[in-house]
Structure 1
Amino acid sequence: MEVVLAPWAAYNLLGVAMHEWAGRNVDLSLLDGHRASAVSDSLAAMPTWERRFAFLDDALLRWGAVGPVCSARVVWAWQEICRTSGAVPIGHLAARTGWSWRQFEHRFREQIGVTAKTAARIMRLRTALTMLEVGRSLPGTAEACGFSDQSHLTREIRAMTGHTGPQLAAARGRSWVGAPAPDRVSGQVSSLLV
């Protein structure tokens, strides 16, 4: 089973500063030891998927009830970044929370895993890659996503993925337009097979 969580929900469930684990694949047992092993063992022993899902829902609700509460201001800022596909000015978000810039960045990074600016960059890039995969032109995508021009978008693709656009498309097993890649979130470029 794979559970995809919003970063703030992972902070609440696991009780760890998310920036300490950002950019890494971490076995859940390293973060939560005995709880993770107990849930994994219980799930494996259950005879039906219906019972597994119900058990997992219950376990996650119990973990969330005792985990650290993510700040409502951080959750709001995350949702604004998602809603605008990263196009919201970060200074505006910080000001709306009522925190200083430094306090906003510290709390966002602790509870989300990256700074708000990095989260916005990721969202803009994800939106651009999704547009490219459904056949939007490079110049049109760059304009729609707020990049200054297609060269800016091309540089951002390389900076954030380590690949040029064509290399990224090939690594995903397709040209920009083609059969869907196995993404974890439907309708969003989120996976790369290497």
Structure 2
Amino acid sequence: MGNNLEYLPQSISQLGSLQSLDLSNCNRLTQLPEFPEQLDTIYADWSSDSICNSLFWNISSLQHDIYASDSSSLRVFTSGENILSWFHHQGTGRRVTVKLPENWYVRDNFLGFSVGYSGSLIETKAYLIPLCDDGMSWMTRKLKLALPKWSTESNIHCFLVPFAGLWDTSKANGKTPNDYGLIRLCFSGEMKKFGFRLLYKD
């Protein structure tokens, strides 16, 4: 049975000790507010595209200052299992390679690559691969995952590979992101199933 809650107050972001939030019965909720820093577990109606988008927009805002030269860990959130239906690409195994659509990169709109998975991962390696093999450098980044304290292998975990954390202008040699046509993620640890989707602001 659901409730009539349609929105959460923005002041929830000030609840510094909040670590878990269960909104699974809030069927009228259309957007998530800004997260407090310590929140790492959230359950909601993941059948709603707007709720799923809000989750990853929040993750993106928490990682806006990660760049290709950084060694920061990626924040990982625990969510409900049915969130995987939101991802355009789904599968099993420890590696995924996705062909990017034409003109996939839109400046000031593209945020990064959203990932959901079940299993026990330690880190992931991300590779942005050129369309043509003409000596262009691959963009490569090893990313550690900062897992929630109470996470288990049966949970679905979510993280975002921010574009700014993968793109390195010094290696681009005048090329643009749209000259790269494949994204590959290699997972270190035990992977049961995963979902993958490009994330945009709107």
TM class, shorter-length: under 0.3
Relative to the length of structure 1, the TM-score reads 0.25
**Structure 1 or 2: larger helix share?**
1
Greater C-alpha Rg: 1
- TM-score, length-scaled by structure 2: 0.24
Give the number of the structure with larger relative contact order, counting CA–CA contacts within 8 Å between residues 6 or more apart: 2
In terms of fraction of residues, the more strand-rich structure is 2
